[in-house]
Chain A
Amino acid sequence: MNDPLHPRVTRRELLKLSPLLLLGGFAVPAWQERLLNAGVAWSDGASAALFRGGHRAPVFRDADVVPFERFPYNGYDVLEPAIDFDGWALSVGGAVKRAGRYSLDQIRALPKITQNTRHICVEGWDAIGRFGGASLRDFLDLVGADPRARFITVTCADDYYESLDMETARQPQSLLCYEMYDRPLDRGHGAPLRLQLPTKLGYKQAKYLLTMNVTDVLPGKKSYWGDQGYSWYGGL
């Protein structure tokens, strides 16, 4: 009987573990960043594939909403950037039929949606809040956004910027939010207008909106935190 522990056998068995060497690539400094970026891009792709536009994020009873004072303020820089509230309008451009400036009154004239949803921060905390605003989908229809366009991008009064896949933008709970707890949005939470997206992490829900662009191509600066290493997709 052949010796099952002949060196030729054990060598062959060891070689069968060679796929492990692929993981060793992560230890090579020159490859590490590219491999990790590929990992995050793969995760983002899987997240987008998993996304169902008709699936609603959980909504909650009024009793489950945290008191307004306990809903955290979170900003990357200043909570009250300089904004000309009297002259404010959302500038809309790109692949839309009716580009131009849209006042808060025009946005308020769209059917209002009020929803109690969970706001989840990438840091791990969350808070259930009450939000009111216009459906982003209704607004995209109002401005005549190209239904085949892939993304919307926004810029903000605090130099923040974000972009969003069109599937999420058209999800029925995605809001152009101008109210919290049935009162006009306060400055720290993004007055006069912010994105409120129950299917995205907090950093995707840009505040202090100034411009919106409908596009097929993401700009170089596509997401304030995404550009620094967070997932661009940021979906929940």
Chain B
Amino acid sequence: MTPTHTPARPVYEHPWAVRLCHWTNAVAVTVLTLSGLKIFNAFPSFGSKIPERDLIEAVPQAITIGGWLGGALQWHFTFMWVFAAGGVVYVISQIVSGHYLTVVFTKRDIAGVWPMARHYFLFGPKPPATGQYNPLQKLAYSTAIGLGALLLLTGIVMYKPTQMSTLGLVVGGYHGARLVHFLSMCGLLAFVPGHLVMVALHGWDNFASMLTGWKRHPEYAPGQETR
């Protein structure tokens, strides 16, 4: 007998490593962004020192940490390790467990992006749930993970432009790394508000799953996480 409708059962949606890395990186990204803005404030430009054309008069103190350049660098040079460790552990655990299939945006997800965006932003009909993440989520998460990797890569090049000079060639040297690092940060920041709004809209059960791993009322049938 094949059931035509399976009542949703609780699923263990987020493995431990994913949850831990999610929260350590939430902290790390916050600290790195706020300290990074203070560091940027010391030379808010991507051009030459003479003449200096600043992009901003001064980054408001309220959205920075560290107090001064040296203090901000201490936060940055400490939490870069947290960020790197969180990213590396996340990627390795996702690959080893095969869980990456739930989140990686692939060619077959392309068609589903627009219907999902229309549903969220233009109140269009809700497309039926497929896997653990819908195509728009996959696109957002895959992009955020890619930006995180780019931030790490360009950060390494900026931190060690001589020892890592060969790696630097990939991102246009010291200047290229500095610019790409900044733009990647902007991209990651653009992801955050949408992410938080979606979390708020989807309620406690969804939020709690990033704490305990378990989702009580998944919209997809068990075993369909990677669809």
**Does B227 make an interface contact (CB < 8 A)?**
no
Contact A23 B27 (CB under 8 A): yes
Q: Provided the pairs A58-B165, A121-B43, A236-B162 are in contact, do residues A5 and B77 lie with their beta carbons within 8 angstroms?
A: no
The smallest beta-carbon distance between B77 and chain A, in angstroms, is: 4
Contact partner, B161, options A16, A47, A118, A228, Cβ 8 Å: A118
Interface string of A201-236 (1 = CB under 8 A from B): 000000000000000000000000100111100011
Residues of chain B from 42 to 74 with CB closer than 8 A to chain A in the complex: 42-43, 45, 48-52, 68-71, 73-74
The secondary-structure label for the interface of chain B is helix
Chain A residue nearest in CB terms to B49: A125
Contact A118 B214 (CB under 8 A): no
Q: Provided the pairs A123-B42, A125-B43 are in contact, do residues A230 and B214 lie with their beta carbons within 8 angstroms?
A: no
The smallest beta-carbon distance between B154 and chain A, in angstroms, is: 13
Residue numbers in A under 8 Å from B207 (CB-CB):
none
Q: Which of B16, B20, B49, B79 has the most CB of A within 10 A?
A: B49
Residue numbers in B under 8 Å from A36 (CB-CB):
71, 74-75, 78
**Does B160 make an interface contact (CB < 8 A)?**
yes
The smallest beta-carbon distance between A83 and chain B, in angstroms, is: 25
Residue numbers in A under 8 Å from B213 (CB-CB):
13
**Does B190 make an interface contact (CB < 8 A)?**
no
The smallest beta-carbon distance between B134 and chain A, in angstroms, is: 24
A→B interface (CB under 8 Å):
4-5, 9-10, 13-14, 16-17, 19-20, 23, 26, 35-40, 42-43, 47, 50-52, 55-58, 66, 69-72, 118, 120-127, 198-199, 225, 228-231, 235-236
Sample of 7 A–B contacts (CB below 8 Å): A14-B211, A19-B24, A23-B82, A43-B78, A47-B160, A127-B49, A199-B163
